[in-house]
């Protein structure tokens, strides 16, 4: 059995990909305007109809569909214990490499599956993969027009084009547009409040752009476990938190670690070291040790998408900065694809690490929204609507507790290895009814005494 991310898998991938890359090195390595992108996605779905589907999560301000291409052995269906994964590209309209890489990656998954590549076949069978090549199609069209108008065919600050098309058609930066849950999280850290699935503010839907709203609704409808969003302008794997805990400190950066800091570092390193040059550190005139950085340590950013994923859902997301040039020429796309291909696969495989399992009641009925807590890690995850849960963990031995309202909590010990996720199921017993004596005392009018007795409200 192949281990996720093993050298054998990498070798298989390289060998089996060669003839496809030779075939695809012509017209497919080009920039795709919106209509071209849509045609490319539907062409992939047509070529691999049994393992893919296309759906729209909403529309942009100007009415363009935000199309997602899904890969699975059962497209359109969540299978229990099969994790959901997503890639998001082109959040900033003028940062276009991610868009092209995800189109190419979609073609690659289809072609390699058809060719019988064991590694890709296993990924498609064991993972539900969602690919959103462009979160900001309106901004892209503005940037692409600017790109065409540029006298040298390249974008840069000297042509006043470095920010053109970054935002959506209302010129709103979508990576500064999500509800700010960091401030609430940092308050809860001091008051021992919730550490996951933080509540959204009232009237939040009126405070975000249509593209942002569509992505948040998407997150609500799918139990994503791992994600990356693809940007440009640097070459580094950036991990949460993006927002510094103390905004009063000016002029210097401060590291803002999550409770899962070690896991996020490992996820970032996975991409960086599988990338042809990101891990070398020196890129675009900057140096990042191992090609990774904590977001706030680089510069503090509020209302970003990756922090929102972590604080509102079960999803761990990092931000991949993939090119010095935000709008690289078409002639550079093949080199960039070759540099990112293995990293895109290796990172996706990380969704299969840690533990996963089902949460049942004593009659084997699945329990949704049960909380799964890991000793020593102040960040919980929850089970999905089918009762399945997924928890990314590094190798080691952990104490895991599962709880749900109306049930007694259950704690088990588990040892996680370096290969695929360990299955750990929980069967929760109903919590005992409230003490019958209290009810009897209330019936006899002894409410004053009863009110002084502790009331067991059960697990939170």
Give the residues across from 407 on adjacent strands.
430
Asked if 425 and 358 touch (Cβ cutoff 8 Å), the reply is yes
Gap between the Cα atoms of 389 and 83, Å rounded? 9
Could you tell me the two tokens for 203?
A: 């009237």
Backbone angles phi, psi at 434, to 5 degrees: -60, 150
Q: Is 321 a catalytic residue?
A: yes
Q: Which residue, among 169, 162, 165, 349, has the nearest Cα to 270 in the 3D structure?
A: 349
Could you tell me the two tokens for 147?
A: 């790109």
Gap between the Cα atoms of 287 and 114, Å rounded? 40
Asked if 197 and 57 touch (Cβ cutoff 8 Å), the reply is no
| Count of CA atoms in the C-beta half-sphere (13 A) of 313 | 25
Q: Which residue, among 351, 354, 228, 239, has the nearest Cα to 290 in the 3D structure?
A: 239
Gap between the Cα atoms of 217 and 210, Å rounded? 10
Q: Which residue, among 200, 176, 401, has the nearest Cα to 311 in the 3D structure?
A: 200
Q: Which of 209, 321, 336, 371 is catalytic?
A: 321
Backbone angles phi, psi at 173, to 5 degrees: -75, 115
* Helix or strand run (H / E) with residue 310: helix 305-312
Gap between the Cα atoms of 58 and 45, Å rounded? 19
Rounded to the nearest angstrom, the gap between the alpha carbon of residue 27 and the centroid of all alpha carbons in its chain is: 30
Rounded to the nearest angstrom, the gap between the alpha carbon of residue 306 and the centroid of all alpha carbons in its chain is: 7
Length of the chain: 460
Q: Which residue, among 352, 322, 420, 348, has the nearest Cα to 106 in the 3D structure?
A: 348
DSSP state of 320: E
Alpha-carbon torsion (201, 85, 264, 319), positive or negative: negative
Asked if 389 and 363 touch (Cβ cutoff 8 Å), the reply is no
Backbone angles phi, psi at 98, to 5 degrees: -60, -40
Gap between the Cα atoms of 33 and 39, Å rounded? 10
Gap between the Cα atoms of 4 and 419, Å rounded? 6
Q: Name the residues annotated as catalytic.
A: 321
């Amino acid at each position: 059995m192949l281990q996720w991310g093993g050298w054998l898998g990498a070798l298989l991938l390289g060998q089996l990909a060669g003839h496809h890359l030779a075939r695809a090195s012509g017209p497919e390595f080009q920039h795709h305007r919106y209509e071209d992108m849509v045609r490319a996605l539907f062409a992939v779905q047509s070529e691999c109809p049994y393992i893919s589907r296309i759906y729209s999560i909403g529309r942009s301000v100007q009415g363009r569909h935000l199309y997602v291409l899904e890969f699975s052995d059962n497209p359109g269906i969540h299978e229990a214990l099969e994790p959901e994964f997503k890639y998001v590209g082109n959040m900033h309209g003028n940062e276009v490499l991610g868009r092209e890489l995800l189109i190419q990656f979609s073609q690659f998954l289809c072609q390699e599956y058809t060719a019988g590549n064991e590694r890709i076949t296993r990924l498609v069978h064991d993972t539900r993969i969602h690919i959103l090549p462009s979160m900001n199609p309106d901004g892209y069209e503005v940037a692409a027009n600017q790109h065409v108008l540029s006298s040298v065919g390249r974008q840069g600050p000297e042509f006043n084009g470095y920010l053109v098309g970054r935002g959506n058609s209302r010129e709103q930066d979508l990576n500064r547009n999500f509800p700010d849950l960091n401030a609430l999280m940092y308050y809860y850290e001091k008051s021992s409040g919730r550490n996951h699935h933080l509540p959204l503010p009232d009237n939040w839907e009126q405070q975000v752009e249509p593209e942002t709203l569509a992505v948040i609704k998407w997150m609500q409808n799918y139990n994503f476990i791992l994600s990356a969003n693809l940007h440009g302008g640097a070459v580094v794997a950036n991990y949460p938190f993006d927002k510094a805990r103390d905004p009063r400190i000016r002029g210097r950066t401060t590291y803002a670690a999550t409770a899962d800091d070690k896991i996020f570092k490992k996820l970032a390193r996975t991409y960086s070291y599988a990338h042809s040059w990101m891990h070398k550190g020196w890129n675009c005139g900057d140096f990042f040790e191992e090609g990774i950085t904590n977001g706030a340590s680089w510069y503090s950013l509020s209302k970003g998408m990756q922090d929102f994923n972590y604080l509102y859902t079960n999803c761990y997301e990092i931000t991949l900065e993939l090119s010095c040039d935000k709008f690289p020429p078409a002639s550079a796309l093949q080199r960039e694809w070759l540099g990112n291909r293995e990293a895109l696969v290796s990172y996706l495989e990380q969704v299969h690490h840690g533990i996963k399992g089902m949460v049942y009641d004593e009659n084997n009925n699945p329990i949704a929204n049960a909380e799964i807590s890991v000793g020593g890690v102040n960040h919980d995850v929850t089970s999905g609507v089918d009762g399945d849960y997924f928890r990314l963990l590094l190798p080691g031995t952990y104490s895991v507790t599962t709880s749900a309202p109306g049930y007694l909590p259950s704690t088990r010990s588990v040892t996680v290895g370096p290969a695929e996720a360990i299955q750990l199921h929980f069967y929760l017993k109903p919590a005992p009814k409230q003490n019958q004596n209290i009810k009897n005392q209330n019936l006899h009018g002894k409410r004053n005494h009863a009110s002084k007795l502790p009331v067991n409200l059960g697990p939170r």
